[in-house]
Amino acid sequence: MDSLINAAGRALAAGDPLGALKRVALRQDAAALALRGIAMAQLGDFAKAKTLLKSAARAFSPREAVARARCVVAEAEIALVSRDLGWPEKALRAARATLDAHGDRVNAAYAGSIEARRLILIGRLDEAERLLAGFDPAPLPPVARVAHELAAAGIAVRRLRTKAARSAFGRASLAAYEANIPALRAEVEAASLVLNTPVGRKIAQASETLLPLDEVETLLASGALVIDACRNVVREADTVVSLATRPVLFALARTLAEAWPADASRETLLRRAFRARHADESHRARLRVEMGRLRAELGAFAEINATAAGFALTPLGASEVVVLAPPVEEEHGAVLAFLADGESWSSSALAIALGASARTVQRAMEELSAEKKVQAIGRGRARRWMMPPVTGFPTVLLLPGPLPSD
Amino acid sequence: MKRAAAEILREYGPFPGVKTVAGVTFDGEKVWFASGDKLNALDPGSGATLRSIDVAAHAGTAFDGRHLYQIAEERIQKIDPQTGEVIATIPAPGNGGDSGLTWAEGSLWVGEYRARKIHQIDPETGKVIRTIETKRVVTGVTWVDGELWHGTWEGDESDLRRIDPATGEVLQTLDMPPGMGVSGLESDGAGCFFCGGGNSGKVRAVRRPGYAPTVANK
């Protein structure tokens, strides 16, 4: 590398992108393009950064495979931070293999952590988990370790593993302290709040309590029969029955659970499940049919018996019946409940699940998206919706310092 | 053309606080190497670093018998090794694209990395006296016994090569082991080359063909 490239690389590593640009602004060689790309990314001009890094990757000679691969990794991180999730996974994987083969372990590990963060973002938690499981963040520089630990914490939170989440946040916090980047420390602090803020509401025998994550975990493991309105499932310890695509059945189950140990009246059940204001004979008939269906679904957990006024739930093994609801229930609560599984959904799938028209779902998504409660991935027919991850991960760019190969 | 594998006599470093080695020279006793914001003096016998000078040091380093010369950004600084003071500055011929630096026969010789050139310049003014075209990127330059050697390093491939100063023709190459690169080059005037190792943060001694395999320690 030449003198100005080294000087610019040092400026970047010291967090001075303008100083780096000043030194290589007019140069078109590969190393200069790469440094300019990273500097532009740090200055927030992602579009220009992407173009520059692409041309840099092309400008490096075939002999400089490592430098090329590093450009691809930097580009992938920019795509991730700018939430451009249609980014080709294959290119990143190939770059990771190249870096591994050439013994650039730090950047290879970094590429892996970017891959995992992207998988979490697009709601492919199982894959992300697999990727992180076989992954040792120890050799990474502190900034990259922060990203890795936040990703691990994000998955643990999703999976309701509070202890694992807590220790991952702890490690993230230490690494952020070591990295000494204020924005990053703030990011970790903000993400860790999820452990201390209510994430759910427990409704049982006419009283409500707000629960933090660890108490939700305890509740789900307690063996109580939980009607989980955050995910539209019914669970008892490890047995889970999903009613995510059966909103009527779920509404009935929840109404019965909220009335437990008493029964729920037909009027209440009809109002909650069918929005019916008065019960006529056809409604009653439909209620009987739906109750039959719910009986079949919940057969492993509970009996549903007719009473004089309506229906009552009687758990088979559990000593208690509890409803777990989101802390705030809102107009589009049902949509959010589906999205709360962390997966990405298409509008048409949501319409089927909600039993609503495509247009209704579209409107709901537009409103929620404007409130930043959901995010869209992809365009046109490939568009998918999901909730912003419980804990995201750095929105600050963590690009490694000087790129050029030596 | 003669071709052989470079024989590494000794590795020094990595050194605390040194992330990258950008240039190397030899003052007859000590190896001086540039590490971005410092010039460091290394005793090649004991391997100890003796002192350092705080000065911008982004590429090649040279010694003329009294002063050190150090490339920083797009200039060449002349430094008094006793006081560490920069006593003069001239423009570098490659305008910041410069890499290797050595002193010989009253001139400074500057490698221009991407242009694949070695410029002979006037140390007082920086004026280019002549330019030698090479075949590969230049990452270090040195003269020894009338032989002009330069280092090259691209991706995984790096070597030391002796070229004909008149034509640029390659007369001899010493291939570095895979994964080791040359960033900065200086001969000890006898049987050994000192090479900077870029981001490995190391300095390496390489045997000059035809000489006993020892590191000079005068």
- Give the tens place of pLDDT for each residue, B56-72: 999 999 999 999 999 99
User: A46 CB contacts (<8 Å, ≥6 apart)?
Assistant: A40, A78, A81, A82, A84
Q: Is A103 helix (H, G, I), strand (E, B) or coil?
A: coil
Region B128-150: what's the mean pLDDT? Answer: 96
The DSSP annotation for A123-148 comes to T-HHHHHHHHHT---TTS-HHHHHHH
Nearest to B72 among A3, A64, A103 (CB): A3
Rounded to the nearest 10°, the torsion over CA A333, A334, A335, A337 is: 80
Q: Is A196 helix (H, G, I), strand (E, B) or coil?
A: coil
Nearest to B73 among A3, A67, A102 (CB): A3
pLDDT at A343: 65
Chain B positions touching A29 (Cβ under 8 A) are 114
pLDDT at B218: 46
Q: Closest Cα of chain B to A135: distance in Å?
A: 24
pLDDT at A21: 94
> In b/e form, how buried is each residue of A160-189, taking b as 16+ CB within 10 angstroms?
bbbeebbebbebbbebbeebebeebbebbe
Chain A positions touching B73 (Cβ under 8 A) are 3-4, 7, 23
Please tell me the pTM assigned to this model. Answer: 0.76
Q: Closest Cα of chain A to B159: distance in Å?
A: 13
Q: Is A210 helix (H, G, I), strand (E, B) or coil?
A: strand
Q: Closest Cα of chain A to B71: distance in Å?
A: 7
Nearest to B96 among A3, A10, A66 (CB): A3
Chain B positions touching A63 (Cβ under 8 A) are 154-157
Quickly state the pLDDT bin for B16 (edges 50, 70, 90).
Answer: very high
- For residue B199, give the chain A residue with the closest CA: A406
Nearest to A63 among B22, B72, B154 (CB): B154
Distance of alpha carbon A150 from alpha carbon B55, whole angstroms: 39
- Cβ-in-10-Å burial (0-12, 13-18, 19+) of A296 comes to exposed
Positive or negative: CA dihedral A155, A157, A161, A164: positive
Output DSSP code: residue A387: P
Local mean pLDDT, 10-residue blocks, chain A (406 residues): 92 87 93 93 88 94 90 90 75 93 84 84 81 81 85 84 92 90 83 82 87 89 89 87 87 92 90 80 87 91 90 89 82 72 73 78 87 79 72 54 52
Distance of alpha carbon A138 from alpha carbon B159, whole angstroms: 33
> Locate tokens 């993230």: which residue?
A172
Distance of alpha carbon A68 from alpha carbon B180, whole angstroms: 19
- State the helix-helix crossing angle for A89-101 and A65-81, rounded to 10 degrees: 140
Region B100-127: what's the mean pLDDT? Answer: 97
Nearest to B199 among A7, A65, A406 (CB): A406
- Whether cis (ω within 30° of 0) applies to the bond prior to A247 is no
Q: Closest Cα of chain B to A400: distance in Å?
A: 14
* Chain A residues contacting B via beta carbons under 8 Å: 1-4, 6-7, 10, 23, 29, 61, 63-67, 102-103, 405-406
pLDDT at A80: 82
Q: List C-alpha distances in Å: A216 to A205, A226, A241, A286, B139.
A: 17, 10, 18, 34, 61
Chain B positions touching A405 (Cβ under 8 A) are 155
Nearest to B198 among A10, A103, A406 (CB): A406
Three-state helix/strand/coil letters over chain B = CEEEECCEEEEECCCCCCCCECEEEECCCCEEEECEEEEEEECCCCCCEEEEEEEEECCCEEECCCCEEEEECCEEEEECCCCCCEEEEEECCCCCCEEEEEEECCEEEEEECCCCEEEEECCCCCCEEEEEECCCCCCEEEEECCEEEEEEEECCEEEEEEECCCCCCEEEEEECCCCCCCCCEEECCCCEEEEECECCCCEEEEECCCCCCCCCCC
Distance of alpha carbon A335 from alpha carbon A354, whole angstroms: 7
Q: Do B155 and A64 touch (CB under 8 A)?
A: yes
Q: How many CB pairs under 8 A join A and B?
A: 74
Q: Do B155 and A66 touch (CB under 8 A)?
A: yes
Query: What are the helix (H) ranges across A105-200?
Result: 105-121, 125-133, 142-158, 162-179, 182-192
Q: Do B73 and A1 touch (CB under 8 A)?
A: no
Q: Do B155 and A29 touch (CB under 8 A)?
A: no
The answer to whether residue B176 scores a pLDDT higher than 90 is yes
CA B156 to chain centre: 19
Question: Furthest-apart CA pair in chain A: how many Å?
Answer: 89
Q: Does B89 touch chain A (CB under 8 A)?
A: no
Q: Does B42 touch chain A (CB under 8 A)?
A: no
Distance of alpha carbon A335 from alpha carbon B186, whole angstroms: 69
**Lowest mean per-residue pLDDT among A212-226, B95-109, B112-126, B159-173:** A212-226
